[in-house]
Structure 1
Amino acid sequence: MKVRFTPRALAELAAILDFVAERSPTGARRIQYRIRTLIELLPDFPHSGQLTSVERLRRLVVIPFPYVIFYRPDADDIVIVSLRHTAREPELRP
């Protein structure tokens, strides 16, 4: 199973890392490492995230950081749909 990102998810990830890096380059590296680690586990555990109110969309919290990964597991791949701070709107709108 392959993981791919939507353009939206890539832009959100870049914005998160840029924002944090301005204040703490080390913090940005830690967040990036944690997000990458969780995403690398998804092919083996595609249903590990909590289901959301949007059909087939799952949510995975990036503990201990205040970020959430929204993704959709399909038959052939896992699509990372969005990444956002937990202070933002909690549910992703289709």
Structure 2
Amino acid sequence: MWTNQAARDLEDIHSFLEPRDPQAAARIIQRLARIAKDVLEVAPDAGRPGRVEGTRELVVTRTPYIIAYEVDRDDVRIVSVIHSRRVWPEAF
């Protein structure tokens, strides 16, 4: 499940990339969504322990983005999608 914040992050990423390269913007958004679905649904512990307590982080290869998420039993909640060069938040 994508939180409102994570959905806004995707919109912001698309809005930033789209004027520069519409095809790249679409590819990156599709990749982020596909990886989140394909990897996290099957292996929710695939990511590394997160910098924010209670979270995990999935580095999305071939992109500069990291998906921050929480796992509660078998439920995965994507809390944010963050560019790897951004300062990491202290909380979500």
With normalisation by structure 1, the TM-score equals 0.87
Which residue of 2 is the match for residue 38 of structure 1?
A: 35
**Residue 58 (structure 1) shift:** 0.6
Confirm or deny that 1:24 pairs with 2:37: no
Alpha carbons 2:44, 2:74 under 8 Å: kept: no
Structure 1 runs of 4+ with >2 Å offset? 53-56
State the alpha-carbon separation in 2 of the partners of residues 76 and 58 from structure 1: 14
Q: Which has the higher contact order (CA 8 A, sep 6+)?
A: 1
Find 1:74's aligned residue among 55, 72, 79: 72
**Aligned CA distance change for structure 1 residues 92 and 48 (closer, same or farther; 3 Å):** farther
Which residue of 1 is the match for residue 90 of structure 2?
A: 93
Letter in 2 for 1:58: R
State the alpha-carbon separation in 1 of the partners of residues 24 and 30 from structure 2: 10
CA RMSD of aligned residues (A): 1.2
Letter in 2 for 1:37: R
Letter in 1 for 2:23: T
**Residue 76 (structure 1) shift:** 4.4
Alpha carbons 2:48, 2:57 under 8 Å: kept: yes
Matches within 5 A, 1:46-57: 46-57=44-55
Letter in 2 for 1:8: Q
Count of aligned residue pairs for this structure pair: 90
Structure 2 unaligned regions, length at least 5: none
With normalisation by structure 2, the TM-score equals 0.89
